[in-house]
Amino acid sequence: MREFFLYGYFAILFILSIFGFHRYYTIHLFRKYKDVKPEPKGHFDNLPNVTVQLPVFNEMYVVERLINKVVKLDYPADKLEIQVLDDSTDESRFIAENLCRKLRAEGHDIVYIHRAGDKRTGFKAGALENGMHVAKGEFIAVFDADFLPPADFLMRTVHFFTDNKIGMIQARWDHINRDHSVLTEAQSILLDGHFMIEHTARNRSGRFFNFNGTAGIWRKETIDDAGGWQHDTLTEDLDLSYRAQLKGWNFVYLADLTVPAELPVEMNAFKGQQFRWAKGSIQVFMKLFPTILRSDVSRKVKMEAFFHLGANFGYVLMTLLSLLMPINIMLRYRQGWQEIFILDLPIFILATASVVFFYFYSEIIVINETLSMKHRSRFTPLYYLPFTIALGIGLTINNCRAVFEALFKKVTPFVRTPKYNVDATDKDAFKAIMKNKYRMKQLNWVSMIELILGLYFSYAVYFAYYSGLHLSLPFLMLFQVGFLYTSFLSLFYTPVMRLLRRRV
């Protein structure tokens, strides 16, 4: 039995080290191609018609902000159509409809499309498909409710479509409330790694990458050719992206064009978002990876597709690792095998140090490349990296559940991420959370398991400290803090803050 635990532990670490090696390789690709910046093949003499789609659902706190921002896009008024695709079931629909009516009277080509009752099929994908059937534009830009596109977004993207092989252009996400809290800082680091390093490396090295559901613009013909928006996965954007690229369409990623958006300020909202992304990516893996393997795309594209679409399988391994790690340490110590802890070092460098290096490096690049970040010290990410790694670990159970729901084809609805209209200057995010009618539920079995694992690792930390296994303490504490942090903010944040506010 002891050998079973030990061999299982090392097998899991070995597989995770393969994913770690891939992070190093992704950084290599980024560095190799970082100066190969995309440029339009030409410029339109006569600008084409563009439709901007704004899919919204119960967004009463941010829908006005979104619409007012989009009507300021710098593009000829006779070439620009705005569609507000509203599936709302609350007062959001009246806010959006009234504003659209006002702006239309002012001369803007803006239409309000509301789907009600049984017509509201396919969630976001269904709304986009429904709007596309009546869209005037040859090209279609999409922005989610919490995004704030810059005025020059269309002028900086549309000219890439002078190349008839280009099907989609994606911009990089930025964050209006990055500085708000430890949670938003950690989220921004996680997203920056994806958008600055992974997207750039994949796109410029000739591998597939994906539209992220917002802050991008499509050629309408590309969507039709790829089979249109489909809603059999929770990540319709990822699904369509791979189907389009398998059809031979090329995508462009503009790392220097940023579109700011609001990060979730509350743990349950963040976990819900991560659950949807994790489950959706595995659904797309199961749906499309066999097709990718049978296709005539290059081997490098197939390998990257595996790591891209299958990345969340790592959370299953992380769950097993979380269960085995304290047991492994206790068994090895009691057997007098402390000296073979040095065998963990190479795997640690690949599986764990790669994460630290990946996100630290991405933040350095973001600080260097983003004008709004010039005030930020290059050492600032070091303060938040431990919390970022711990947060990633704390998501293990949440995202492992998502993977298994995808594998067993459990059908769940598209659960939107609540928006709070909170930016970095808002000092009372708690008030925003409390008054928000869309606040997600707190008590669930996932959070309870996270709490139990946090206590489990607290005992492991105690054991390691008093056994003199001090080298293992930082690693154990990342798991301890990660699970306690996510469970506490999921279960106890609201009632504790209410109590504190009463006593102040």
Q: Reading across the β-sheet that carries 80-86, which strands appear in turn?
A: 110-114, 80-86, 50-56, 139-142, 216-219, 166-175, 250-261
The one catalytic residue among 86, 144, 192, 237: 237
Closest by CA to 52, choosing from 71, 31, 34, is 71
Give me the phi and psi of 72, to 5 degrees please: -95, 5
Quote the pLDDT of residue 211.
98
Q: Round to whole Å and give the CA distance between 367 and 376.
A: 7
pLDDT in tens, 117-149: 767 788 899 999 999 999 999 999 999 999 999
Angle between the N-to-C axes of helices 380-394 and 473-491, in degrees from 0 to 180, rounded to the nearest 10? 70
Quote the pLDDT of residue 433.
63
Encode burial over 468-483: b for 16+ CB neighbours within 10 A, e otherwise. Answer: ebeebeebbbbbbbbb
Please, which residues have CB within 8 angstroms of residue 63's CB and are 6 or more apart in sequence? Answer: 56, 84, 86, 92, 95, 96, 99, 145
Quote the pLDDT of residue 349.
66
pLDDT in tens, 211-235: 999 999 999 999 999 999 999 999 9
Q: Round to whole Å and give the CA distance between 387 and 356.
A: 11
Quote the pLDDT of residue 137.
97
Q: Round to whole Å and give the CA distance between 89 and 79.
A: 31
Q: E-assigned strands of 117-245? A: 139-142, 166-175, 216-219
pLDDT in tens, 243-257: 999 999 999 999 999
Quote the pLDDT of residue 328.
84
- The CA angle 117-122-126, to the nearest 5 degrees, is 95
Quote the pLDDT of residue 344.
61
CB 291 within 8 A of CB 248: no
Quote the pLDDT of residue 13.
85
Q: Round to whole Å and give the CA distance between 311 and 317.
A: 11
The one catalytic residue among 86, 87, 239, 423: 87
87 is catalytic: yes
Q: Round to whole Å and give the CA distance between 24 and 362.
A: 12
Name residues of the chain where pLDDT drops below 70.
1, 118, 335-350, 371-379, 422-436, 439-443, 494-504
Q: Which two tokens stand for residue 450?
A: 């996270």
78 is catalytic: no
